[in-house]
Amino acid sequence: MFDRKEKGDRAVLVLPHSRGEGDTARRAEEFAELVKSAGAEVLGVVAARVEDPNPRYYIGSGKADEVAEAARALEADVVLVDHVLTPVQERNLEKHLGIRVVDRAGLILDIFAQRARSHEGKLEVELAQLKHLATRLVRGWTHLDAQRGGAIGNRGPGETQLETDRRLIGVRVKMLTKRLEKVQVQRGQQRRSRLRNTVPQVALVGYTNAGKSTLFNALTTGDVYAANLLFATLDPTVRKLEDLSCGPAVLADTVGFIRELPHDLVAAFRATLAEARDADLLLHVSDAADEERERLHRVVDNVLEEIDAGDVPQLHIMNKIDLAGSEPRIDRDAAGKPVRVWLSAATGVGLDLLRQALGELLGGERVQSALLLPLTAGRLHARLKAAGAISGETVDEHGWQLRIDAPRSVIAPLSGGDPTETQLLRELLAVAE
């Protein structure tokens, strides 16, 4: 066996493909972008036709020899494989090549580790990494077979370094899981608070690098990092979305999706993805200039199904029309409902159409009326204000003179169960009909 180097980013890429796989050039380009996002230098590429995966190496033994020769000739210190390998295949390849081997899942996990900034994001990434690592400890490093013992206090059967590492990983996984449960409880409380205020919840989803964060910044006062890199942002960010005809809403930016996203990573990022699952509306952002956008739509929809968000209504956003040469517009279904908005988040063209579509989808029938609210109804006044239902008000000894302008769906549930408040809202809604 060999001793792993502490760090190395000079890479040879292995690109497995099969006959019916589709656009292998696009897949290779995407993997190269992943490698770029990880900060590695690509020295060479080896394509490998794989119709019947080799249980030992995944690629054929002859192709494994070719990769070994390329790695030696180019003095590479890591081989990156564009496929998810089993622990046995990864271990056998490392032994055969004599250098580190990282599969697609490991590479994505490494990128996530570099990008996470919040306490929650770092916990989620570390948990996913440890779960991934736990299956790959066997004989990956020469020191793992060393038996403890021999010195005073350590004599006897002892335990191997492998067993020690497994035990320590198990302890760390339990600790991280408990910490994340606490964070998720806190985030759940924040979401429930927003729901109690009946503010509509909107979440951005889409294939990574489709321009979600740029759109988020354009629609809000957010300052989410946006760059032409895969997984440029990871941590969930929530901002208020204003200037809509339906009143204010809450907009959440979520992690970008990608094909073959590691299952452990999807499971770990429950808190981030919960913003999509609990939303009233998903803005499914796509790159209008991408010829593969329909296939990428299906990838995103598959991940949404996996996190139980497949039934959440979607509005498709065709972004980057400045690159596609398209005009800003709203596409509608037979009933006149907006289903697709064409825009450019980078230039701002079409953002007004998106706000119009959001107002229509989130608003429904509006209530526009005057309301005299007695001073004893302070809680209802606070709820109406938090929901953005008050367009103007004055107050005197008789109470609040309010001008109400909000969707009926926002006002109807605001009474909180109090009979007096319920009657006031019932009268308001009756007058507005």
Angle, alpha carbons 315-317-318 (nearest 5°): 145
In this structure, the answer to whether residues 320 and 386 fall within a common structural domain is no
**What is the pLDDT, as a whole number, of residue 93?**
92
Residue 411 lies in a domain: yes
Please check whether residues 373 and 306 belong to one and the same domain. Answer: no
Indicate whether 318 and 287 sit together in one domain: yes
Q: What is the mean pLDDT of residues 222-250?
A: 69
> Under a CB-based contact definition with an 8 Å cutoff, are residues 327 and 296 in contact?
no
Mean pLDDT, residues 216-222: 83
Tell whether the model's pLDDT for residue 84 goes beyond 60: yes
**Among candidate residues 102, 121, 156, the one where a domain is terminated:** 102
- pLDDT exceeds 70 at position 235: no
Over the stretch 34-58, which tens digit does the pLDDT of each residue have? 888 888 899 999 999 888 899 999 9
- Give the end of a domain, one of 102, 128, 145: 102
* Structure-model confidence comparison of residues 259 and 262, the more confident one: 259
What's the half-sphere exposure (Cβ side, CA atoms, 13 Å) at 159?
8
Whether residue 394 sits in one domain with residue 351? no
**Domain-located, residue 418:** yes
Same domain flag for 342 and 392:
no
pLDDT score of 158 more than 70: no
Average pLDDT of the segment spanning 239-245: 84
DSSP string covering 328-387, please? PEEEE-TTS-EEEEE--TTT-TTHHHHHHHHHHHHH-SEEEEEEEE-TT-HHHHHHHHHT
Residue 246 maps to a domain: yes
What is the residue-averaged pLDDT of the chain?
79
Averaged over 314-332, what is the pLDDT?
Answer: 95
Same domain, yes or no, for 248 and 333? yes
Does residue 279 sit in the same domain as residue 309?
A: yes
**pLDDT for the residue 366:** 67
Is 152 inside a domain boundary?
no
218 vs 235 pLDDT, higher one: 218
Whether residue 385 sits in one domain with residue 284: no
Q: What pLDDT was estimated at residue 79?
A: 94
More confident call, 272 vs 146: 272
The answer on pLDDT for 202 being more than 80 is yes
Per-residue pLDDT averaged across 237-243, rounded?
Answer: 84
The enclosing H or E element of 220 equals none
Domain, as residue range, for 253: 199-362
pLDDT tens for 348-372 read 999 999 999 998 888 766 677 888 8
Region 339-355: mean pLDDT is 95
Q: Is residue 376 part of a domain?
A: yes
Crossing angle of helices 351-363 and 212-219, rounded to 10°? 80
* Between residues 106 and 185, the one the model is more confident about: 106
Q: What CATH number has the domain bearing residue 392?
A: 3.30.70
d(CA 240, CA 261): 29
User: Which of these three, 362, 387, 407, is where a domain ends?
Assistant: 362
Domain count, the chain: 3
Per-residue pLDDT reduced to its tens digit, 3-34: 545 455 899 999 998 876 666 777 888 888 88
Which residues, other chains included, contact 282 with Cβ-Cβ below 8 Å and sequence gap of 6+?
202, 203, 204, 205, 276, 304, 309, 312, 313, 314, 315
Place of tokens 């250098």: 99
Same structural domain, 275 and 356 = yes
Average pLDDT over residues 310-334: 93
Instruction: Tell me what pLDDT residue 191 has.
Output: 56
| CATH number of the CATH domain containing 284 | 3.40.50.300
Q: Tell me what the mean pLDDT of segment 149-170 comes to.
A: 58
Q: Helix %, strand %, coil % for the chain, to 5?
A: 45, 20, 35
Which element (helix H / strand E) includes 177?
helix 161-196
**Poorest-pLDDT segment among 35-49, 339-353, 376-390, 412-426:** 412-426
Confidence of residue 215 (pLDDT cuts 50, 70, 90): very high
To the question of pTM greater than 0.85 for the whole model, the response is: no
Quickly state the pLDDT bin for 279 (edges 50, 70, 90). confident
